[in-house]
Amino acid sequence: MKLTAIIEREGDGYVSLCPELDIASQGNSVEEAKNNLQEALELFFATASAEELAQRLHGDVFVTQVEVAVG
């Protein structure tokens, strides 16, 4: 299954988020944050009930940029 991973710097590390399931992780590098998120997702799928999966899984997630005037 392909899911979205949003990774951003936070302090000295990186936070990773899967918006489809609202599951997050972190790491000291982008790659570590991505790998830790992948592990968290795999653990979720291994332990979640069908009901929990259906309740948490958001179908369409769109990641884009918007331009706004500042000042």
Integer Cα distance of 15 and 22 in angstroms = 13
- Per-residue confidence (pLDDT) for residue 34, from 0 to 100: 98
Residue 26: which residues within 8 A CB-CB, separation 6 or more? Answer: 10, 13, 14, 15, 16, 33, 36
All structural domains of the chain with their residue ranges: 6-56
Q: Give per-residue pLDDT as tens, 7-20.
A: 999 999 999 999 99
pLDDT tens-digit map of 25-50:
999 999 999 999 999 999 999 999 99
CA atoms within 13 A on the CB side of 21: 22
Q: Tokens representing 38?
A: 């992948």
